[in-house]
């Protein structure tokens, strides 16, 4: 049986560049389609004009800067968090523009092209770097996921494919959802992407754990955490099913 990695493996065998090449930078058909899905969901949610910052928390961002690239025009103060020291270091290097930082320029160019506002990718890149105010450890299984740090409640929280890789069972998923929502101010917005019907995801040939989820359960967890859902959409392509949920804290 193939090894399925989880927990501490994100600080050991997890490879940031391999993850990004597989899920964000590849030209394999599924990747541009999922990137467009992410873009469309942020555009549809934030274009309504009711959900502006200044403060956004990215929970469990991994080495992925996509959420910050999509949202920095609305939220000029972003706190980036992840469980893995490897992932946090990758983001820190990019923010500090070190010579060995991962190159996000083509991804940013693609986002600017989709927006069609005439802004240059260089301007957007500088905006993202200015927006990321802190890069910190998080653990969604803790009552304060940002422990030991304490923050005022955030205007918005975004989380992408985090809880299903961190939570061992459905009960802990619901608890973790409540832990996250405790960091959101009343009236604040949660924007969440989740992978459905998957027990693992691939990085190269390595399998990393996922808690199998379905749409009904995820929405139930969001509502039970103290939010009301304002929009949701499912993306299907071949064997991949993704869910986006936007919800407002009561």
- Cα–Cα distances in angstroms (integers) from residue 72 to residues 92, 127, 133, in the given order: 17, 7, 11
Q: What is the mean pLDDT of residues 88-101?
A: 97
> Cis omega (within 30 of 0) on the bond before 54?
yes
d(C-alpha 102, C-alpha 90), whole Å? 7
Say how many domains are in the chain.
1
Helix spans in 116-203 (H): 121-131, 163-166, 170-181
SS3 35: helix
The rounded mean pLDDT for the chain is: 95
Query: Do residues 86 and 10 lie in contact, with contact meaning Cβ atoms separated by under 8 Å?
Result: yes
Residue 242 pLDDT > 70, yes or no? yes
Query: Do residues 184 and 159 lie in contact, with contact meaning Cβ atoms separated by under 8 Å?
Result: no
Per residue in 171-205, pLDDT (tens digit) is 999 999 999 999 999 999 999 999 999 999 989 88
Q: Output the pTM of the full model.
A: 0.95
Neighbour count for residue 193 (Cβ, 10 Å)? 20
Per residue in 1-19, pLDDT (tens digit) is 689 999 988 999 999 999 9
CATH (domain of 11):
3.40.50.150
Per residue in 124-154, pLDDT (tens digit) is 999 999 999 999 999 999 999 999 999 999 9
Residue tagged 């359960």 (tokens): 217
d(C-alpha 16, C-alpha 153), whole Å? 29
Per residue in 26-63, pLDDT (tens digit) is 989 999 999 999 999 999 999 876 677 899 999 999 99
Maximum CA pair distance of the chain? Answer: 51
**Band of the pLDDT at 118, cuts 50, 70, 90?**
confident
Per residue in 62-89, pLDDT (tens digit) is 999 999 999 999 999 999 999 999 999 9
d(C-alpha 93, C-alpha 67), whole Å? 17
* The pLDDT of residue 205: 87
* The pLDDT of residue 47: 85
Query: Do residues 81 and 60 lie in contact, with contact meaning Cβ atoms separated by under 8 Å?
Result: yes
Query: Do residues 191 and 157 lie in contact, with contact meaning Cβ atoms separated by under 8 Å?
Result: yes
Residue range(s) defining the domain that contains residue 165: 4-249
What sign results for the dihedral spanned by CA atoms 41, 42, 45, 47?
A: negative
* The pLDDT of residue 1: 61
> Cis omega (within 30 of 0) on the bond before 148?
yes
Q: Give the distance, in angstroms, between the CA of residue 150 and the centroid of all CA atoms in the same chain.
A: 20
* Sequential DSSP letters for 202-219: EETTEEEE-----HHHHH
Residue 226 pLDDT > 90, yes or no? yes
């Amino acid at each position: 049986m193939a090894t399925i990695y989880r927990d501490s493996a994100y600080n050991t065998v997890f490879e940031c560049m391999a993850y990004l090449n597989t899920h964000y930078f590849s030209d394999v058909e599924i990747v541009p389609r999922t990137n467009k899905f992410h873009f469309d969901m942020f555009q549809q949610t934030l274009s309504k004009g009711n959900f502006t910052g200044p403060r956004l928390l990215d929970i469990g961002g991994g080495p992925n800067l996509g959420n910050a690239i999509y949202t920095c025009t609305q939220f000029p103060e972003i706190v980036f968090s992840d469980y893995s020291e490897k992932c946090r270091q990758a983001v820190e290097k990019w923010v500090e523009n070190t010579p060995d930082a991962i190159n996000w320029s083509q991804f940013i160019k693609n986002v600017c092209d989709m927006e069609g506002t005439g802004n240059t990718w260089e301007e957007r890149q500088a905006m993202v770097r200015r927006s990321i105010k802190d890069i910190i450890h998080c653990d969604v299984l803790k009552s304060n996921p940002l422990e030991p740090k304490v923050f005022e409640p955030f205007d918005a929280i975004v989380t992408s494919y985090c809880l299903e890789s961190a939570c061992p069972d459905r009960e802990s998923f619901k608890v973790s959802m409540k832990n996250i929502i405790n960091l959101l101010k009343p009236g604040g917005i949660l924007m969440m992407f989740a992978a459905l019907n998957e027990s693992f995801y691939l990085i190269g040939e390595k399998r990393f754990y996922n808690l199998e989820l379905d749409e009904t359960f995820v929405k139930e967890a969001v509502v039970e955490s103290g939010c009301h859902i304002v929009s949701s959409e499912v993306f299907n392509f071949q064997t991949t099913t993704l869910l986006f949920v936007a919800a407002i804290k009561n």
